[in-house]
Chains A and B, each alone.
Chain A
Amino acid sequence: MSTVIVVTSGKGGVGKTTTSAAFATALALRGHSTVVVDFDVGLRNLDLIMGCERRVVYDFINVINEEGNLNQALIKDKRVENLYILPASQTRDKSALTQVGVTRVMEALKERFEYIVCDSPAGIEHGAQMAMYFADVALIVTNPEVSSVRDSDRIIGMLASKTLRAEQSLDPVKEHLIISRYVPGRVNKGDMLSADDVQDILAIPLLGVVPESDAVLKASNEGVPVTFQEDSDAGQAYHDITARFVGEDRPQRFIQEQKGFFSRLFHHP
Protein backbone atom coordinates (compact mmCIF):
# COMPACT_ATOMS: atom_id res chain seq x y z
CA MET A 1 0.00 0.00 0.00
CA SER A 2 1.59 3.23 -1.10
CA THR A 3 0.88 6.77 0.02
CA VAL A 4 0.87 9.82 -2.24
CA ILE A 5 2.01 12.99 -0.47
CA VAL A 6 1.69 16.42 -2.05
CA VAL A 7 3.90 19.23 -0.79
CA THR A 8 2.02 22.41 -1.57
CA SER A 9 1.55 26.01 -0.44
CA GLY A 10 -0.11 28.26 -2.99
CA LYS A 11 2.54 30.92 -2.58
CA GLY A 12 5.95 30.62 -4.18
CA GLY A 13 9.28 30.69 -2.39
CA VAL A 14 8.08 29.36 0.94
CA GLY A 15 10.11 26.15 0.80
CA LYS A 16 8.08 23.53 -1.05
CA THR A 17 11.00 22.10 -2.98
CA THR A 18 13.34 22.27 0.04
CA THR A 19 10.70 20.45 2.07
CA SER A 20 10.01 17.88 -0.67
CA ALA A 21 13.71 17.05 -0.97
CA ALA A 22 14.40 17.01 2.77
CA PHE A 23 11.28 15.05 3.66
CA ALA A 24 11.72 12.45 0.90
CA THR A 25 15.37 12.01 1.89
CA ALA A 26 14.44 11.57 5.54
CA LEU A 27 11.81 8.95 4.63
CA ALA A 28 14.39 7.05 2.57
CA LEU A 29 16.96 7.31 5.39
CA ARG A 30 14.39 5.60 7.60
CA GLY A 31 14.29 2.75 5.13
CA HIS A 32 11.10 3.58 3.24
CA SER A 33 11.21 3.21 -0.51
CA THR A 34 10.50 6.73 -1.73
CA VAL A 35 10.27 8.69 -4.96
CA VAL A 36 10.09 12.48 -5.18
CA VAL A 37 8.33 13.84 -8.27
CA ASP A 38 8.81 17.36 -9.65
CA PHE A 39 5.49 18.78 -10.92
CA ASP A 40 6.98 22.21 -11.61
CA VAL A 41 7.20 21.69 -15.36
CA GLY A 42 9.10 24.53 -17.03
CA LEU A 43 10.68 25.72 -13.76
CA ARG A 44 12.54 22.56 -12.85
CA ASN A 45 14.32 22.96 -9.50
CA LEU A 46 14.03 19.73 -7.58
CA ASP A 47 16.94 18.15 -9.49
CA LEU A 48 19.17 21.05 -8.37
CA ILE A 49 18.20 20.71 -4.72
CA MET A 50 18.70 16.94 -4.95
CA GLY A 51 22.04 17.46 -6.73
CA CYS A 52 21.20 15.27 -9.71
CA GLU A 53 20.75 17.92 -12.41
CA ARG A 54 23.59 16.52 -14.50
CA ARG A 55 22.03 13.08 -14.64
CA VAL A 56 18.69 14.05 -16.17
CA VAL A 57 18.14 12.35 -19.53
CA TYR A 58 14.43 11.57 -19.69
CA ASP A 59 11.87 13.41 -17.59
CA PHE A 60 8.29 13.19 -16.28
CA ILE A 61 6.83 14.66 -19.50
CA ASN A 62 8.78 12.19 -21.66
CA VAL A 63 7.18 9.38 -19.68
CA ILE A 64 3.71 10.97 -20.00
CA ASN A 65 4.19 11.27 -23.77
CA GLU A 66 5.64 7.72 -23.92
CA GLU A 67 8.88 9.04 -25.39
CA GLY A 68 10.78 7.17 -22.71
CA ASN A 69 9.86 4.69 -20.01
CA LEU A 70 9.67 5.27 -16.28
CA ASN A 71 12.90 3.39 -15.54
CA GLN A 72 14.80 5.64 -17.91
CA ALA A 73 13.43 8.78 -16.26
CA LEU A 74 13.83 7.76 -12.60
CA ILE A 75 17.16 8.90 -11.15
CA LYS A 76 18.53 6.88 -8.26
CA ASP A 77 19.99 8.95 -5.44
CA LYS A 78 23.68 8.21 -4.92
CA ARG A 79 23.72 8.93 -1.19
CA VAL A 80 20.82 6.94 0.15
CA GLU A 81 19.20 3.65 -0.74
CA ASN A 82 15.51 3.53 -1.67
CA LEU A 83 15.39 7.13 -2.96
CA TYR A 84 14.53 8.07 -6.54
CA ILE A 85 13.86 11.38 -8.26
CA LEU A 86 11.49 11.91 -11.19
CA PRO A 87 12.54 15.25 -12.67
CA ALA A 88 10.26 17.68 -14.51
CA SER A 89 10.85 18.95 -18.01
CA GLN A 90 12.43 22.38 -18.29
CA THR A 91 11.42 22.99 -21.90
CA ARG A 92 7.69 22.35 -21.65
CA ASP A 93 4.90 23.99 -19.68
CA LYS A 94 2.23 22.77 -17.25
CA SER A 95 -0.26 21.90 -19.98
CA ALA A 96 1.96 18.91 -20.78
CA LEU A 97 0.70 17.37 -17.52
CA THR A 98 -2.29 15.59 -19.01
CA GLN A 99 -4.69 13.89 -16.63
CA VAL A 100 -4.46 10.58 -18.48
CA GLY A 101 -0.67 10.71 -18.61
CA VAL A 102 -0.21 11.68 -14.96
CA THR A 103 -2.68 8.96 -13.91
CA ARG A 104 -0.67 6.32 -15.76
CA VAL A 105 2.66 7.46 -14.25
CA MET A 106 1.21 7.64 -10.73
CA GLU A 107 -0.24 4.14 -11.03
CA ALA A 108 3.15 2.83 -12.12
CA LEU A 109 4.92 4.64 -9.23
CA LYS A 110 2.39 3.27 -6.71
CA GLU A 111 3.34 -0.27 -7.68
CA ARG A 112 6.97 0.39 -6.96
CA PHE A 113 7.22 2.84 -4.06
CA GLU A 114 5.92 3.10 -0.53
CA TYR A 115 5.88 6.90 -0.55
CA ILE A 116 5.40 9.16 -3.55
CA VAL A 117 6.26 12.77 -2.69
CA CYS A 118 4.84 15.27 -5.20
CA ASP A 119 6.57 18.65 -5.26
CA SER A 120 3.84 21.08 -6.34
CA PRO A 121 4.47 24.25 -8.33
CA ALA A 122 3.32 27.54 -6.81
CA GLY A 123 -0.10 28.90 -7.72
CA ILE A 124 -3.50 27.31 -7.92
CA GLU A 125 -3.59 26.50 -11.63
CA HIS A 126 -3.32 23.31 -13.59
CA GLY A 127 0.19 22.32 -12.42
CA ALA A 128 -0.70 22.66 -8.74
CA GLN A 129 -4.01 20.91 -9.29
CA MET A 130 -2.36 17.94 -11.00
CA ALA A 131 0.19 17.70 -8.19
CA MET A 132 -2.56 17.49 -5.57
CA TYR A 133 -5.05 15.43 -7.57
CA PHE A 134 -3.85 11.97 -6.47
CA ALA A 135 -2.80 12.94 -2.95
CA ASP A 136 -3.69 10.92 0.13
CA VAL A 137 -1.81 13.32 2.38
CA ALA A 138 -0.88 16.98 1.97
CA LEU A 139 2.00 18.82 3.59
CA ILE A 140 1.01 22.49 3.58
CA VAL A 141 4.17 24.60 3.73
CA THR A 142 3.55 28.07 5.12
CA ASN A 143 5.77 30.97 6.15
CA PRO A 144 4.67 32.87 9.25
CA GLU A 145 3.35 35.88 7.35
CA VAL A 146 -0.20 36.79 6.32
CA SER A 147 0.01 36.45 2.53
CA SER A 148 1.54 32.99 2.75
CA VAL A 149 -1.08 31.91 5.30
CA ARG A 150 -3.94 33.16 3.15
CA ASP A 151 -2.62 31.36 0.06
CA SER A 152 -2.29 28.17 2.08
CA ASP A 153 -5.89 28.58 3.20
CA ARG A 154 -6.91 28.75 -0.45
CA ILE A 155 -4.95 25.58 -1.24
CA ILE A 156 -6.52 23.72 1.70
CA GLY A 157 -9.91 24.66 0.29
CA MET A 158 -8.91 23.20 -3.07
CA LEU A 159 -7.69 19.97 -1.46
CA ALA A 160 -11.27 19.50 -0.27
CA SER A 161 -12.74 19.92 -3.74
CA LYS A 162 -10.23 19.38 -6.55
CA THR A 163 -8.73 16.02 -5.67
CA LEU A 164 -9.57 12.46 -6.64
CA ARG A 165 -10.53 11.77 -3.03
CA ALA A 166 -12.98 14.67 -3.07
CA GLU A 167 -14.43 13.71 -6.44
CA GLN A 168 -14.98 10.09 -5.39
CA SER A 169 -16.21 11.09 -1.89
CA LEU A 170 -13.47 9.03 -0.23
CA ASP A 171 -11.92 10.02 3.10
CA PRO A 172 -10.61 13.56 2.65
CA VAL A 173 -6.94 14.30 1.98
CA LYS A 174 -5.13 14.31 5.34
CA GLU A 175 -3.61 17.73 5.94
CA HIS A 176 -0.43 18.55 7.87
CA LEU A 177 0.95 22.01 8.48
CA ILE A 178 4.66 22.79 8.20
CA ILE A 179 5.71 26.31 9.16
CA SER A 180 9.04 27.16 7.57
CA ARG A 181 11.44 30.10 7.91
CA TYR A 182 10.36 30.51 11.52
CA VAL A 183 12.26 32.96 13.73
CA PRO A 184 11.12 32.62 17.38
CA GLY A 185 12.92 35.84 18.35
CA ARG A 186 10.92 37.86 15.85
CA VAL A 187 7.72 36.17 16.98
CA ASN A 188 8.47 37.23 20.56
CA LYS A 189 9.01 40.81 19.38
CA GLY A 190 5.65 40.69 17.58
CA ASP A 191 7.22 41.05 14.11
CA MET A 192 6.16 37.60 12.95
CA LEU A 193 3.04 35.47 13.25
CA SER A 194 3.43 32.79 15.89
CA ALA A 195 2.88 29.10 15.23
CA ASP A 196 -0.31 29.40 17.29
CA ASP A 197 -1.54 32.31 15.14
CA VAL A 198 -0.97 30.33 11.96
CA GLN A 199 -2.72 27.28 13.38
CA ASP A 200 -5.66 29.44 14.52
CA ILE A 201 -6.16 30.73 10.98
CA LEU A 202 -5.61 27.47 9.10
CA ALA A 203 -7.15 25.07 11.64
CA ILE A 204 -5.09 22.04 10.59
CA PRO A 205 -2.68 20.05 12.79
CA LEU A 206 0.93 21.24 12.98
CA LEU A 207 3.45 18.65 11.87
CA GLY A 208 6.45 20.81 12.63
CA VAL A 209 8.27 24.10 12.49
CA VAL A 210 11.43 24.62 10.43
CA PRO A 211 13.56 27.48 11.73
CA GLU A 212 15.05 30.05 9.36
CA SER A 213 18.51 28.65 8.77
CA ASP A 214 21.69 29.26 6.79
CA ALA A 215 21.86 25.52 6.36
CA VAL A 216 18.92 25.63 3.91
CA LEU A 217 20.67 28.08 1.57
CA LYS A 218 23.87 26.09 1.79
CA ALA A 219 21.98 22.88 1.10
CA SER A 220 20.26 24.17 -2.01
CA ASN A 221 23.44 25.71 -3.37
CA GLU A 222 25.32 22.47 -2.90
CA GLY A 223 22.52 20.19 -4.06
CA VAL A 224 22.49 18.25 -0.80
CA PRO A 225 19.10 18.00 0.95
CA VAL A 226 19.30 19.72 4.34
CA THR A 227 18.38 16.44 6.01
CA PHE A 228 21.98 15.32 5.49
CA GLN A 229 23.21 18.18 7.68
CA GLU A 230 22.36 16.30 10.84
CA ASP A 231 23.89 18.93 13.12
CA SER A 232 21.93 21.84 11.62
CA ASP A 233 18.68 23.06 13.18
CA ALA A 234 16.78 22.84 9.86
CA GLY A 235 18.11 19.32 9.25
CA GLN A 236 17.00 18.22 12.71
CA ALA A 237 13.62 19.89 12.18
CA TYR A 238 13.02 17.81 9.04
CA HIS A 239 14.07 14.62 10.83
CA ASP A 240 11.56 15.47 13.59
CA ILE A 241 8.83 16.22 11.02
CA THR A 242 9.41 12.93 9.25
CA ALA A 243 9.46 10.99 12.52
CA ARG A 244 6.14 12.56 13.54
CA PHE A 245 4.75 11.82 10.09
CA VAL A 246 5.39 8.10 10.49
CA GLY A 247 3.85 8.14 13.96
CA GLU A 248 6.69 8.80 16.41
CA ASP A 249 6.22 11.24 19.25
CA ARG A 250 8.74 14.07 19.14
CA PRO A 251 8.60 17.31 21.13
CA GLN A 252 8.39 20.60 19.15
CA ARG A 253 11.93 21.92 19.60
CA PHE A 254 11.92 24.95 17.30
CA ILE A 255 8.88 26.96 18.34
CA GLN A 256 10.63 28.48 21.38
CA GLU A 257 13.76 30.58 21.08
CA GLN A 258 16.91 28.46 21.32
CA LYS A 259 18.97 29.52 24.33
CA GLY A 260 22.38 30.92 23.49
CA PHE A 261 25.56 29.37 24.93
CA PHE A 262 25.94 31.89 27.76
CA SER A 263 22.32 31.95 28.87
CA ARG A 264 22.37 28.16 28.92
CA LEU A 265 25.53 28.28 31.03
CA PHE A 266 24.13 30.70 33.55
CA HIS A 267 20.51 29.59 33.81
CA HIS A 268 20.94 25.83 33.97
CA PRO A 269 22.84 24.52 36.95
Chain B
Amino acid sequence: MSHKDTPPTQTAFNLKGSMLTIMVLQLHETNLAVISEQLRSKVAQAPGLFENTPLILDLSHLSDGQASLDWQALLDLFQAQGFLPIAYSGGSLHWRSQIQDLSLPWFNSPVQANKNATPTHIPAKIVQQPVRSGQQLVAEGDLIILSMVSPGAEVLAGGNIHVYGPLHGRALAGINGDEHARIFCQKLEAELVSVSGQYQIRDELDESWFGKAAQVYLEQDNLKIQSFGV
Protein backbone atom coordinates (compact mmCIF):
# COMPACT_ATOMS: atom_id res chain seq x y z
CA MET B 1 0.00 0.00 0.00
CA SER B 2 1.23 3.43 -0.87
CA HIS B 3 0.83 6.42 1.41
CA LYS B 4 1.80 9.04 -1.12
CA ASP B 5 -1.66 10.63 -1.03
CA THR B 6 -0.95 11.78 2.49
CA PRO B 7 1.32 14.84 2.71
CA PRO B 8 4.21 13.83 4.98
CA THR B 9 4.04 17.00 7.12
CA GLN B 10 0.36 16.73 8.01
CA THR B 11 -0.26 16.04 11.69
CA ALA B 12 -2.31 12.93 12.20
CA PHE B 13 -3.76 14.13 15.51
CA ASN B 14 -3.42 16.59 18.35
CA LEU B 15 -3.53 15.71 22.03
CA LYS B 16 -5.22 18.41 24.05
CA GLY B 17 -6.51 18.77 27.55
CA SER B 18 -9.93 20.35 27.67
CA MET B 19 -12.82 21.11 29.98
CA LEU B 20 -16.19 19.59 29.16
CA THR B 21 -19.56 20.06 30.72
CA ILE B 22 -20.90 16.67 31.64
CA MET B 23 -23.91 15.42 33.56
CA VAL B 24 -23.23 13.98 37.00
CA LEU B 25 -25.65 11.78 38.89
CA GLN B 26 -25.16 11.88 42.65
CA LEU B 27 -26.33 8.60 44.07
CA HIS B 28 -28.00 8.80 47.50
CA GLU B 29 -29.93 5.52 47.50
CA THR B 30 -28.92 1.93 46.78
CA ASN B 31 -32.43 0.47 46.46
CA LEU B 32 -32.76 -0.34 42.74
CA ALA B 33 -36.56 -0.20 42.77
CA VAL B 34 -36.59 3.29 44.27
CA ILE B 35 -33.92 4.54 41.87
CA SER B 36 -35.73 3.00 38.92
CA GLU B 37 -39.05 4.60 39.81
CA GLN B 38 -37.63 8.08 40.40
CA LEU B 39 -35.51 7.89 37.25
CA ARG B 40 -38.51 6.93 35.17
CA SER B 41 -40.60 9.84 36.46
CA LYS B 42 -37.67 12.24 35.90
CA VAL B 43 -37.28 11.16 32.27
CA ALA B 44 -41.05 11.29 31.79
CA GLN B 45 -40.96 15.02 32.53
CA ALA B 46 -38.82 15.58 29.45
CA PRO B 47 -38.98 12.64 27.09
CA GLY B 48 -36.02 12.43 24.72
CA LEU B 49 -33.98 15.02 26.59
CA PHE B 50 -31.62 12.45 28.06
CA GLU B 51 -31.29 10.42 24.87
CA ASN B 52 -27.60 9.40 24.53
CA THR B 53 -26.55 11.64 27.39
CA PRO B 54 -23.13 10.71 28.80
CA LEU B 55 -23.32 10.33 32.55
CA ILE B 56 -20.89 10.12 35.44
CA LEU B 57 -21.99 8.35 38.61
CA ASP B 58 -20.87 10.22 41.72
CA LEU B 59 -20.60 7.82 44.66
CA SER B 60 -19.28 10.33 47.18
CA HIS B 61 -22.69 10.67 48.87
CA LEU B 62 -23.01 6.97 49.65
CA SER B 63 -22.07 5.79 53.13
CA ASP B 64 -20.46 2.41 53.75
CA GLY B 65 -23.39 1.29 55.89
CA GLN B 66 -25.88 1.35 53.02
CA ALA B 67 -27.02 -1.89 51.43
CA SER B 68 -25.15 -3.21 48.39
CA LEU B 69 -26.74 -3.29 44.98
CA ASP B 70 -26.37 -4.96 41.62
CA TRP B 71 -24.27 -2.44 39.72
CA GLN B 72 -24.73 -4.07 36.34
CA ALA B 73 -28.50 -3.87 36.81
CA LEU B 74 -28.14 -0.19 37.70
CA LEU B 75 -26.18 0.52 34.54
CA ASP B 76 -28.77 -1.34 32.47
CA LEU B 77 -31.43 0.79 34.12
CA PHE B 78 -29.73 4.02 33.05
CA GLN B 79 -29.12 2.71 29.53
CA ALA B 80 -32.76 1.74 29.24
CA GLN B 81 -33.68 5.36 29.90
CA GLY B 82 -31.25 6.63 27.24
CA PHE B 83 -28.26 7.54 29.46
CA LEU B 84 -24.73 6.45 28.61
CA PRO B 85 -22.86 5.88 31.87
CA ILE B 86 -19.22 6.52 30.96
CA ALA B 87 -17.45 6.66 34.30
CA TYR B 88 -17.83 6.91 38.03
CA SER B 89 -16.17 9.15 40.58
CA GLY B 90 -15.67 9.56 44.31
CA GLY B 91 -16.85 6.95 46.71
CA SER B 92 -15.10 5.10 49.52
CA LEU B 93 -12.91 2.05 48.97
CA HIS B 94 -15.93 -0.06 50.00
CA TRP B 95 -18.00 1.07 47.01
CA ARG B 96 -15.13 1.30 44.57
CA SER B 97 -14.17 -2.33 45.15
CA GLN B 98 -17.70 -3.38 44.23
CA ILE B 99 -17.81 -1.42 41.00
CA GLN B 100 -14.32 -2.41 39.82
CA ASP B 101 -15.61 -5.45 37.90
CA LEU B 102 -17.62 -3.26 35.51
CA SER B 103 -14.41 -1.96 33.88
CA LEU B 104 -15.81 1.56 34.06
CA PRO B 105 -13.20 4.36 34.34
CA TRP B 106 -12.93 6.06 37.72
CA PHE B 107 -12.15 9.76 38.32
CA ASN B 108 -9.83 10.28 41.24
CA SER B 109 -11.38 13.48 42.56
CA PRO B 110 -15.07 13.56 43.35
CA VAL B 111 -16.85 15.74 40.84
CA GLN B 112 -17.54 19.12 42.37
CA ALA B 113 -20.97 20.49 41.69
CA ASN B 114 -19.66 23.90 42.78
CA LYS B 115 -23.16 25.40 42.92
CA ASN B 116 -22.54 27.11 46.24
CA ALA B 117 -19.27 28.70 45.25
CA THR B 118 -19.80 32.44 45.00
CA PRO B 119 -17.15 34.56 43.29
CA THR B 120 -14.95 35.95 46.05
CA HIS B 121 -13.90 39.57 45.93
CA ILE B 122 -10.19 40.12 46.46
CA PRO B 123 -9.58 43.60 47.85
CA ALA B 124 -7.12 45.73 45.89
CA LYS B 125 -3.65 46.28 47.31
CA ILE B 126 -2.94 49.99 47.66
CA VAL B 127 0.64 51.23 47.90
CA GLN B 128 1.46 54.83 48.85
CA GLN B 129 5.26 54.67 48.79
CA PRO B 130 7.45 54.58 45.65
CA VAL B 131 8.36 51.07 44.54
CA ARG B 132 12.15 51.19 44.48
CA SER B 133 14.68 49.39 42.29
CA GLY B 134 15.01 45.77 43.36
CA GLN B 135 11.65 45.68 45.12
CA GLN B 136 8.96 43.32 43.96
CA LEU B 137 5.28 43.82 44.79
CA VAL B 138 2.75 41.08 44.20
CA ALA B 139 -1.01 41.49 44.58
CA GLU B 140 -3.54 38.71 44.24
CA GLY B 141 -6.20 41.07 42.90
CA ASP B 142 -5.77 44.64 41.69
CA LEU B 143 -2.67 46.62 42.53
CA ILE B 144 -2.92 50.39 42.92
CA ILE B 145 0.31 52.36 43.25
CA LEU B 146 -0.09 56.03 44.09
CA SER B 147 3.59 56.82 43.59
CA MET B 148 6.19 55.82 41.02
CA VAL B 149 7.68 52.47 40.03
CA SER B 150 11.46 52.87 39.67
CA PRO B 151 13.66 51.24 37.03
CA GLY B 152 14.55 47.75 38.20
CA ALA B 153 11.39 47.41 40.28
CA GLU B 154 8.73 44.83 39.45
CA VAL B 155 5.00 44.99 40.17
CA LEU B 156 2.74 41.99 39.58
CA ALA B 157 -0.98 41.52 40.00
CA GLY B 158 -3.56 38.84 39.39
CA GLY B 159 -5.88 41.65 38.32
CA ASN B 160 -5.31 45.18 37.01
CA ILE B 161 -2.37 47.45 37.82
CA HIS B 162 -2.82 51.20 38.27
CA VAL B 163 0.24 53.42 38.57
CA TYR B 164 -0.34 57.09 39.32
CA GLY B 165 3.35 58.09 39.26
CA PRO B 166 5.75 57.36 36.39
CA LEU B 167 6.05 53.65 35.52
CA HIS B 168 9.77 53.04 34.90
CA GLY B 169 10.02 49.41 36.00
CA ARG B 170 8.27 46.22 34.98
CA ALA B 171 4.52 45.75 35.30
CA LEU B 172 2.81 42.39 34.85
CA ALA B 173 -0.99 42.21 35.11
CA GLY B 174 -3.19 39.13 35.02
CA ILE B 175 -0.37 36.86 36.18
CA ASN B 176 -2.83 34.04 36.93
CA GLY B 177 -4.13 34.06 33.38
CA ASP B 178 -6.76 36.79 33.49
CA GLU B 179 -6.83 38.01 29.89
CA HIS B 180 -9.10 40.91 30.78
CA ALA B 181 -6.57 42.45 33.17
CA ARG B 182 -5.12 45.82 32.19
CA ILE B 183 -2.32 48.15 33.15
CA PHE B 184 -3.16 51.82 33.57
CA CYS B 185 -0.46 54.40 34.12
CA GLN B 186 -0.05 58.16 34.09
CA LYS B 187 3.39 58.05 32.51
CA LEU B 188 4.34 54.96 30.53
CA GLU B 189 8.12 54.52 30.55
CA ALA B 190 8.14 50.85 31.48
CA GLU B 191 10.99 48.40 30.99
CA LEU B 192 8.41 45.70 30.36
CA VAL B 193 4.63 45.42 30.31
CA SER B 194 2.74 42.14 30.34
CA VAL B 195 -0.87 41.01 30.43
CA SER B 196 -1.62 37.34 31.06
CA GLY B 197 1.80 36.24 29.86
CA GLN B 198 1.88 38.36 26.65
CA TYR B 199 4.65 40.86 27.09
CA GLN B 200 6.54 43.65 25.39
CA ILE B 201 9.93 44.99 26.36
CA ARG B 202 11.00 48.62 26.18
CA ASP B 203 12.59 48.20 22.75
CA GLU B 204 9.34 46.88 21.29
CA LEU B 205 7.12 49.56 22.76
CA ASP B 206 5.79 52.12 20.35
CA GLU B 207 7.82 55.27 21.07
CA SER B 208 4.79 57.48 20.54
CA TRP B 209 3.27 56.29 23.83
CA PHE B 210 6.42 57.04 25.74
CA GLY B 211 5.91 59.26 28.77
CA LYS B 212 2.17 59.47 28.16
CA ALA B 213 -0.85 58.29 30.10
CA ALA B 214 -1.76 54.94 28.63
CA GLN B 215 -3.42 51.62 29.20
CA VAL B 216 -2.11 48.22 28.19
CA TYR B 217 -4.52 45.38 27.45
CA LEU B 218 -4.98 42.21 25.43
CA GLU B 219 -6.96 42.13 22.22
CA GLN B 220 -7.15 38.70 20.59
CA ASP B 221 -3.91 37.63 22.26
CA ASN B 222 -2.11 40.77 21.10
CA LEU B 223 -0.85 43.35 23.53
CA LYS B 224 -2.35 46.75 22.77
CA ILE B 225 -1.36 50.14 24.09
CA GLN B 226 -3.81 52.99 24.00
CA SER B 227 -3.40 56.46 25.37
CA PHE B 228 -6.00 58.07 27.51
CA GLY B 229 -6.15 61.46 29.11
CA VAL B 230 -8.16 64.46 30.02
Q: Do A and B bind each other?
A: yes
Q: Using CB atoms and an 8 Å cutoff, list the residues of chain A in contact with chain B.
A: 124, 150-151, 153-154, 156-158, 160, 201, 203
**B180 in contact (CB, < 8 A):** no
Nearest Cβ in chain A — how far from B170, in angstroms? Answer: 14
For the complex, give the distance between the alpha carbons of A112 and B109 in Å.
69
Chain B contacts of A201 at CB under 8 A?
A: 150-151, 168
**B82 in contact (CB, < 8 A):** no
Chain A residue nearest to B132 in the complex (CB)? A157
* CB pair B150 A160 closer than 8 Å: no
Chain B: interface size category: 10 to 19
Check A154/B148 contact, CB under 8 A, given A160-B129, A160-B132, A203-B130: no
For the complex, give the distance between the alpha carbons of A180 and B130 in Å.
23
* CB pair A153 B133 closer than 8 Å: yes
Chain A contacts of B129 at CB under 8 A?
A: 160
**B110 in contact (CB, < 8 A):** no
* CB pair B151 A203 closer than 8 Å: no
**B134 in contact (CB, < 8 A):** yes
Chain B contacts of A158 at CB under 8 A?
A: 134
How many A-B contacts are there with CB distance less than 8 Å?
35
Partner of B152, one of A124, A154, A156, A160: A154
Q: Binding site of A, secondary structure by majority: helix, strand, loop or mixed?
A: helix
**B92 in contact (CB, < 8 A):** no
* CB pair B148 A157 closer than 8 Å: no
* CB pair B148 A203 closer than 8 Å: yes
Can you spell out 13 A-B residue pairs with CB atoms less than 8 angstroms apart?
Answer: A124-B134, A150-B150, A151-B133, A153-B150, A154-B132, A154-B134, A154-B152, A156-B130, A156-B132, A157-B131, A157-B133, A201-B151, A201-B168
For the complex, give the distance between the alpha carbons of A89 and B151 in Å.
36
**B53 in contact (CB, < 8 A):** no
Check A153/B147 contact, CB under 8 A, given A160-B129, A160-B132, A203-B130: no
For the complex, give the distance between the alpha carbons of A1 and B134 in Å.
34
